[in-house]
Amino acid sequence: METSEMLRRAPFLAALMFGLLAACVPIRAADAPPAQVATVGKTEHLARFPSQYVAPHDIDVWLPPDYPRHAPYAVLYMFDGQNLFGEREAGKLPSWQADAMAAKLMAQGKTRSFIIVGIANAATERMSEYFPQKPWEALSPEQRRTLFSQQLGNFQIMPVAPFSDAFLKFVTQELKPVIDQRFAVDVRPASTFVMGSSMGGLMAWYAMAEYPDVFGGAAALSTHWPGPYLTLDATTDDPAPDAFVEYIKHHFPSPGGHRVYFDHGTKTLDANYAPTQQRVDQWLKANGWKGAQFESRVFDGAEHSERSWAARLAIPMTFLLAPPAK
C-alpha cells in the first residue's frame, strides 16, 4: 500500500482495530467475568454453560422487575452478552444498558413483557464464531486463504475456520431448552427473538435464516458486512458482501411470521456499510418484506460503538417486541 494511502486510511484502520478487538480481549478462566449487576430488575449468571458443540460460554439472564407476574415472557437472545446490563467499570466497554431500556419500554406499554438472555462471545475467536458459516463455505479456496491471512498488529482476525453453525446448535439445542424450562417464557417462535451488533449483527440475521422455526425475528445493528476484509487495500475485491447477499437471497425465510430489523450509522466503521445494506434492503422489499415485517434505518452521525447502540436500542426492541394489536 502506498504511503499516502496508508496515511489516508490510518484513522479508519485504527477504528477497525478498536471495533474488532474491543470485544475480543482474551479471558482466562481465573478472570471469568462475574454476573453483570442490573440497575433495573435482576440478572442470573449461568457461568461456563457447557456444550458438546463449542467451548463453554458465560450467560447472563436479565429478568424485569415484575418477573414472573406477567408470564409467559417473550425472550430476546443477545450476542456479545458480557456488556449488556448495568454500568461498566472505568476502562471497560460501556454497557448497552439494555436492562434499563427494556424495563422502561415495558413500563410504558411500548413492548410486551420479555426477558433478555445475554450470551458472552468467544473472545479471541469471536470473528470465527460470528462469521456466517455457509456464506464462508461458498467462498473460493483462494478467498478463504486471503481471509485467514488478515491481521491487525499481532492479532489474527480469523484464527480458525468459522464455526457459527456449531454455535447456533449450542444456542438452539442446548441453551434454549434450559431457558425454556427454567424461566417463565413463551417458547414459540413468535415470542423468540435474536439481536446483535457488528459481527453479532451478522449472526442475528443468520440465526433467523438458519432457524426460522426457532426465531421469529432478528435485529442487526451496524451489521459488519465486510467481514474481516476491511484491512485489505483498495485494490482488493471484498468477497464477503456478495457471499452474504447471495445467502440471503436463497435462504431467508418468507416474511410471513418473521420480522427483521437493520440499521447503521455513518461514522467510523459504520461509514462502510451503506452499499451492501442497500442491496439487502432492495432485495427484501422486492420479495414482500414490508410494514411490520421489515425496517431498515440510517442514523446520521452515529458511530460504531456501544454508546451508539444504546442510544437507539429502543427502536429495535420496540420493532421486535411490540405488544400484540388489540
Spatial separation of the C-alpha atoms in residues 191 and 292, rounded to whole Å: 15
Strands (E), the chain: 42-49, 57-63, 74-78, 114-119, 151-152, 155-156, 192-197, 217-221, 259-265, 294-299
Average pLDDT over residues 89-112: 87
Average pLDDT over residues 61-74: 97
Give me the helices (H) in 170-220, please. 176-182, 199-210
pLDDT value at 284 more than 70: yes
Long-range residue pairs from 245-250, CB within 8 A, at least 24 positions apart, any chain: 245/276, 245/279, 245/280, 245/283, 246/135, 246/138, 247/132, 247/134, 247/135, 247/138, 247/206, 247/209, 248/205, 248/209, 248/280, 248/283, 248/284, 249/283
- The pLDDT assigned to 24 comes to 41
Average pLDDT over residues 164-185: 98
Place 114 in a pLDDT band, splitting at 50, 70 and 90: very high
- The pLDDT assigned to 243 comes to 95
- Quick one: which of 250, 76, 78, 53 has its CA closest to 169? 53
- The pLDDT assigned to 28 comes to 36
pLDDT greater at residue 26 or residue 316: 316
Average pLDDT over residues 221-243: 77
- Choose the CATH number for 3-22+36-321 among 3.40.430.10, 2.40.10.10, 3.30.70.270, 3.40.50.1820: 3.40.50.1820
Cell numbers placing 203: 449472526
- The pLDDT assigned to 145 comes to 81
Residues ≥6 apart with Cβ < 8 Å to 293: 255, 256, 258, 259, 260
Least confident of 10-24, 41-55, 307-321: 10-24
User: What are the pLDDT digits (tens) for 21-45?
Assistant: 444 433 333 345 556 889 999 999 9
- The pLDDT assigned to 35 comes to 67
Cell numbers placing 96: 448497552
- The pLDDT assigned to 88 comes to 62
Distance of CA 24 to the CA centre of its chain: 14
| Residues 168 and 207: beta-carbon distance below 8 Å | yes
pLDDT greater at residue 25 or residue 85: 85
Domain boundaries, the chain: 3-22+36-321
pLDDT greater at residue 222 or residue 12: 222
Least confident of 9-23, 50-64, 94-108: 9-23
- The pLDDT assigned to 172 comes to 98
Place 159 in a pLDDT band, splitting at 50, 70 and 90: confident
| Residues 74 and 114: beta-carbon distance below 8 Å | yes
- The pLDDT assigned to 229 comes to 64
Q: pTM for the whole thing? A: 0.89
- Quick one: which of 320, 169, 324, 136 has its CA closest to 241? 136
3-state secondary structure of 242: helix
- The pLDDT assigned to 325 comes to 76
- The pLDDT assigned to 90 comes to 44
Of all residues in the chain, the percent with pLDDT exceeding 70 is 83
